[in-house]
């Protein structure tokens, strides 16, 4: 619920739909939902990840393109390719490179909270009339809209199920960044 609303709300607030070129940075707990919601809204989606093993799943979720963020050539080839770029990871990112992915008048939207200050060169923003924004989880109205869209378009979280008795194992996997998308404790 929270993860879905976190990525759905900025798409709704910025009227991102119908052919808009969307990039989703980090195919994880939030990003996998961001890909699905952007695709459900009629967007052309590019998934950006540091893990090549997520390409096939990203495409199954609705991404029409995939770029490995650790490959400078792949990133350079996508310069100026997206209108709206959603960053979903709680990690520091190559902000100047990400701003370079934006088309003129494009928007970089931060929903994952990095541990350090976000720093980038100002000139590319000014020259391209680009924006950097943040987004919060969403209002009750936006959450209702998100749930309606999820039900109508088949958007669903990909989860690992762990028995309540295995809570420590689940937490250990989470700490080691081994959870594939979302972990859920079940009775």
Tens-place pLDDT, residues 73-98:
999 999 999 999 999 999 999 999 99
Mean pLDDT of 117-140: 94
Q: Is the pTM of this model over 0.75?
A: yes
Per-residue pLDDT averaged across 15-43, rounded? Answer: 96
User: How high does pLDDT run on average in the chain?
Assistant: 95
Contact 61, 43 (CB under 8 A): no
Domain regions of the chain by residue span:
2-156, 157-187
Residue 177, pLDDT > 90, answer no
Q: Is the dihedral of CA 81, 86, 90, 95 positive or negative?
A: positive
156 DSSP assignment: -
**Would you state the pLDDT for residue 9?**
95
Task: Using the predicted structure, report yes or no on whether residue 3 has a pLDDT greater than 90.
Answer: no
pLDDT digits (tens, 9 = 90+) for 47-71: 999 999 999 999 999 999 999 999 9
Confidence check: pLDDT of 145 > 90? yes
Residue that has been written with the tokens 């939902």 in this structure = 33
Confidence of residue 1 (pLDDT cuts 50, 70, 90): confident
H helical segments located in 41-80: 55-61, 72-77
pLDDT at 180: 83
- Answer yes or no: is pLDDT of 2 > 90: no
Task: Give the whole-angstrom CA distance, residue 183 versus residue 181.
Answer: 7
Confidence of residue 15 (pLDDT cuts 50, 70, 90): very high
Kindly state the average pLDDT of the residues 156-170.
92
Burial class (CB in 10 A: 0-12, 13-18, 19+), 157: middle
Q: What does the pLDDT average to over 145-152? A: 95
The correct CATH number of 2-156 out of 2.60.40.60, 2.40.50.140, 3.40.50.720, 3.60.21.10 is: 3.40.50.720
Cα–Cα distance list, 140 to 105, 144, 145, 146, 147 (Å): 29, 6, 9, 10, 10
Query: What are the backbone angles phi and psi of residue 163, rounded to the nearest 5°?
Result: -60, 145
Q: Supply 163's token pair.
A: 């028995």
Q: What is the mean pLDDT of residues 112-129?
A: 95
Residue 156: is its pLDDT beyond 90?
Answer: yes
Per-residue pLDDT, 119:
95
């Amino acid at each position: 619920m929270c993860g879905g609303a976190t990525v759905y709300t900025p798409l709704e607030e910025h009227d991102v739909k119908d052919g808009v070129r969307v990039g989703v940075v980090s195919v994880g707990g939030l990003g996998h939902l961001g890909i699905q919601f952007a695709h459900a809204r009629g967007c052309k989606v590019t998934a950006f990840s540091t893990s090549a093993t997520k390409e096939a799943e990203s495409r199954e979720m609705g991404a029409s393109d995939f770029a490995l963020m650790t490959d400078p050539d792949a990133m350079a080839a996508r310069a100026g390719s997206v209108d709206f770029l959603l960053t979903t990871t709680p990690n520091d990112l190559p902000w100047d490179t990400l701003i370079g992915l934006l088309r003129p008048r494009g928007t970089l939207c931060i929903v994952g909270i990095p541990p350090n200050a976000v720093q980038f060169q100002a000139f590319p923003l000014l020259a391209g009339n680009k924006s950097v924004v943040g987004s919060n989880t969403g209002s009750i109205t936006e959450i209702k809209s998100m749930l309606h869209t999820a039900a109508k378009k088949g958007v669903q979280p990909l989860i690992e199920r762990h028995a309540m008795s295995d809570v420590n194992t689940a937490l250990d996997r989470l700490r080691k960044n081994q959870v594939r998308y979302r972990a859920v404790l079940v009775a």
